[in-house]
Structure 1
Amino acid sequence: MLSNFEVDIIQLRTTPYKIGYNLGKYLKDKTLLTVFSNLTKPEINMNHLHDVFSWVSPNLLEELQGLSEGLQLPYKKVAAMFSGYDVPKLTNMGCSTFVDHQYYVRNYDFSPEIYDGLLLLLSSKNVLASCGYSLQVIGRHDGVNESGLAIGLHFVNNEEYQEGIAAWTSVRMVLDTCTCTEEAIDLLKEIPHAACYNFSLGDSYGSYAAVEVSPEKVLVRRESSFISCVNHFQNPDMKKKNRANIEGSLNRNEYIYSLKSQNLSMKEAFHKFSDKNSPLFFTDYDNLFGTLHTFAYSFEEKTLTTDVAQGNKDLTINFEEWVKGTNIKESKLNGHIQVFG
C-alpha cells in the first residue's frame, strides 16, 4: 500500500545563529530529535569539533549555538546530535548521480525513518546561499549554491571508520564556501573524513568530477564527457575499499552510462531517475533502500528541479532569482512511498 510522504520547505535569510534558532524551534516537537539522540553519541570531543569547524565553517558553530537555544538543549548535546562530527557508523545508504557540463541529477535512497524531510533554502552573511536537502539538520544530502556548484554524497563503506567529519557535513561545508569544482576538490582533500564516500560534483564552468574519499586518502576521478557516481569506488587504487557485494551499485552505474548516448535534456534525465518504474528508483524502504527524493540542477538555466518519491508535481526553482530575494510560494513537497505490513 502507498503512504503519504511529505517534505517541508523552509526559506531563511538571516544570520547563522538565527538560522539555527529557527530550525531548533521547528524541530522542538519532532520525532527526529529522538531519532538522532538515539543514533549519536551522548558527547563528542568538543575541542576537536571546534578546531575543524573554526577553520572550515565557523558559521556552523553559530548555527549550532542557535539550534541549542531554539531546542532549549545544552550546546554540547546539540553538537553531538547535529554537527556530523564523530557520528557512529550508520547503515548503508544509496545514491545515484549523472553529471555533465549541462546539468546534475541524482536520487537519494534510504529509509524515511532516518530522514529529516527538509528542503532548506538559506542565505546568510559570509557564506554562499544554498538550497539542499538536510541531513542531521546542518548537513546536506545534496544541494547547489549561488555560484552554481552542485554536490551530493554517495556511501561506499564504513569499515575504515574513524573520528572525523561525516559526509553530509562535508557537503554543507562545500556548499557554504566553494565556488567551483576545483575549490570543492581542494577542500575535500583537507577535511578529516570519518568514512569511505564518493562525492559527485559539477559547476557552472563546465567542470565535473567524482571525489573518492576515505579516512586514509582522497582521489579524484574524471571522465571526458560525463560522470556517473554511485556507491562504489571506481579508481583502481581505491577498489579494495569497496564492500564485498556491490552488484546493485554496478547495475545502476551501467544504466547511467547507457543514458549518455541518449542526449537527454535535464527534464528527460530527471524523469529517468524519478519515475517509479526506473532502474534507478527503489521501494525497499523497510530494508533502508527506498528512493526518497530526486534533485537536479541546470548549469545553463540556473534552475533546480526536485521532487520526493512518487510526487504529485516537480518543483522547479529559479535559484538565481531566489538568491536575489524572490522567495518561492511552495512550503511542502508531497509524494508517496510503498509500505508493507
Structure 2
Amino acid sequence: MPDFFVNVLQIRDSSFDIGIKTGMEIKNQPIIKTLEAITKPEIDYDNMKSIYSSFAPHLLEELDGLAQSLNLSSNKAAALFSGYDVPKTEAMGCSALLTKDYYVRNYDFSPSLYDGVFSLVQPKNSLASAGYNLQILGRHDGVNEKGLVMGLHFVSNDGYTKGISPWAAIRMALDMCITVDEAISMLKEIPHSACYNFSLGDSRGNMAVVEASPDKVVVRREGSLTCVNHFQDDYLKNKNRDSIEGSLKRNNYLHNLKSNNLTQLEAFNNFKNKESPLFFTDYDNLFGTLHSFSYSYRNSKILTTIAQSSQNIEVDFKEWVNGMDINIQRLKGIIET
C-alpha cells in the first residue's frame, strides 16, 4: 500500500507570477516527465493562443510564467500545460451529486497520471479559485470566489478532434464566470476535443449538467442532479462507450443517496469512504478514487481529501479570499489496489 501525496499551493499574485511560482513548485516533480511522455512535442501554438485570447487571456500569462520558471519555450510550455490538442485519454471515472445546498464529487483515475496538486490561487485580473490541478494549468474540479463550482466527467472519445480539454475549460470558466448560466454560455462556445459531462452549481441555487461533444452541447437541469460518465440526452446517447453499466449503477446509487437529504458532511463522508459504492481501487485500470471534493453554498466551506487520507482540508473560502491562508501544506493518502 504505497503512500500517496498531494501538495497544497496558495498563491496570490499576477497571473504571470502564479505561473512562475507554480513552476517552481513542480520543477523537480515526476509530473513534468509524465506530461512530456503523454503530450505532443509541439502544438499549433497560434491557434491555441487565439482560443485562450477569446476565453481567458490571462492564462496565457500564466503559461508564460510556467515557461520561464521551467526554462521552456512558449510553444513547449503550451504543449505540456495548455490542455490544447492533448492525445486521447481512454478511461476516467467521476461521480457527482448536486443539491441547492452543496456540491460533492469523487475523481477516479490513476495516480501515475495525476498532478498531485491542490491550488488556491488569487490572480490580480481574474476570479480567485480553489481546485485540483490537471495538466498543471487545468482543473479536475474546483470553486471560485463567487460560488461557482464545477467538475468534469469523461464520457468517450467519439468524434475526437483537435480542441480544448475539459480541464482547461473548467479553469477558464472558474476564472471568468460568476454563475452557472455564464459558465454554460462559455461551454457552448469552447471547441471541445472529446465527449465529457460537466457538473455545475452556484451560490444562487442554480444547477446543471452540460453534456458536451465536439459537435453538440446539451444542457440538463432538474431538481437535485447527479452526474457520472455517460450522456443521457437522446441526441448524444450514441456517443456513449459500449459498456456503461458501471456508470448506470453509480447513477442509480446517487439518486437513492440524494433522497436521504444528507448534510454536506454526511454526503462527503459517504463519497470518501473506502466501503462506499462510489469509491474504487482499480488504479491499474485507470479507475481508482484519488480525491473527494465538496463545497457548501451556504457557508462557503470547501471539504476535500485524497484517497484514504486521515486528514481533510476544510477551508472557509470567503475567508481565504479575504486573505486568511490555511495551514495545511500537504496531504498524505494511501493507494491500495
1:284 — aligned with what?
282
- The within-5 A match list for 1:206-217 is 206-217=205-216
1:169 — aligned with what?
168
Determine whether 1:119 maps to 2:118. yes
Instruction: Provide the identity percentage.
Output: 53
For this pair of structures, how many residues does the alignment match? 337
- The within-5 A match list for 1:210-229 is 210-223=209-222, 225-229=223-227
1:309 to 303, 307, 310: 307
CA contact (8 A) 2:14 2:125 kept: no
The one-letter code sitting in structure 1 at the alignment partner of 2:245 is E
Deviation at residue 107 of structure 1 after TM alignment: 0.0
1:40 — aligned with what?
39
2:27 — aligned with what?
28
Determine whether 1:15 maps to 2:14. yes
Task: Find the aligned partners of 2:63 and 2:173 in 1 and give their Cα distance.
Answer: 18
Determine whether 1:100 maps to 2:107. no
Task: Find the aligned partners of 2:177 and 2:158 in 1 and give their Cα distance.
Answer: 29
Task: Find the aligned partners of 1:66 and 1:128 in 2 and give their Cα distance.
Answer: 18
1:299 — aligned with what?
297
Deviation at residue 219 of structure 1 after TM alignment: 0.4
The one-letter code sitting in structure 2 at the alignment partner of 1:228 is T
Deviation at residue 236 of structure 1 after TM alignment: 1.3
Task: Find the aligned partners of 1:28 and 1:313 in 2 and give their Cα distance.
Answer: 26
Determine whether 1:247 maps to 2:234. no
Task: Find the aligned partners of 2:28 and 2:307 in 1 and give their Cα distance.
Answer: 25
**TM-score scaled to structure 2, two decimals?**
0.99
1:327 — aligned with what?
325
1:189-231 deviation per Cα after TM superposition (whole angstroms, max 9, x unaligned): 00000000000000000000000000000000111x2110000
1:67-104 deviation per Cα after TM superposition (whole angstroms, max 9, x unaligned): 00110111111100100001011121100000011000
Task: Find the aligned partners of 1:239 and 1:77 in 2 and give their Cα distance.
Answer: 37
1:232-284 deviation per Cα after TM superposition (whole angstroms, max 9, x unaligned): 00111111110000000000000000011111000000011100000000001
The one-letter code sitting in structure 1 at the alignment partner of 2:264 is M
Determine whether 1:67 maps to 2:58. no
Task: Find the aligned partners of 1:315 and 1:116 in 2 and give their Cα distance.
Answer: 17
1:153 — aligned with what?
152
1:156-188 deviation per Cα after TM superposition (whole angstroms, max 9, x unaligned): 001211111000000000100000100000000
The one-letter code sitting in structure 2 at the alignment partner of 1:334 is K
Task: Find the aligned partners of 2:334 and 2:289 in 1 and give their Cα distance.
Answer: 10
Task: Find the aligned partners of 2:118 and 2:311 in 1 and give their Cα distance.
Answer: 15
Ranges in structure 1 where 5+ consecutive residues have no aligned partner: none
**TM-score scaled to structure 1, two decimals?**
0.98
The one-letter code sitting in structure 2 at the alignment partner of 1:145 is N
CA contact (8 A) 2:151 2:170 kept: yes
1:272-297 deviation per Cα after TM superposition (whole angstroms, max 9, x unaligned): 11000000000011111000000000
1:91-138 deviation per Cα after TM superposition (whole angstroms, max 9, x unaligned): 211000000110000000000000000000000112100000000000
CA contact (8 A) 2:119 2:130 kept: yes
2:3 — aligned with what?
4
Task: Find the aligned partners of 1:131 and 1:20 in 2 and give their Cα distance.
Answer: 15
Task: Find the aligned partners of 1:266 and 1:29 in 2 and give their Cα distance.
Answer: 37
Ranges in structure 2 where 5+ consecutive residues have no aligned partner: none
SS in 1 for 2:105: strand
The one-letter code sitting in structure 2 at the alignment partner of 1:234 is Q
Deviation at residue 313 of structure 1 after TM alignment: 2.0
Task: Find the aligned partners of 1:31 and 1:86 in 2 and give their Cα distance.
Answer: 22
2:316 to 310, 315, 318: 318
The one-letter code sitting in structure 2 at the alignment partner of 1:147 is K
1:5-64 deviation per Cα after TM superposition (whole angstroms, max 9, x unaligned): 110000000011011111111222111111101111111111111110011111110001
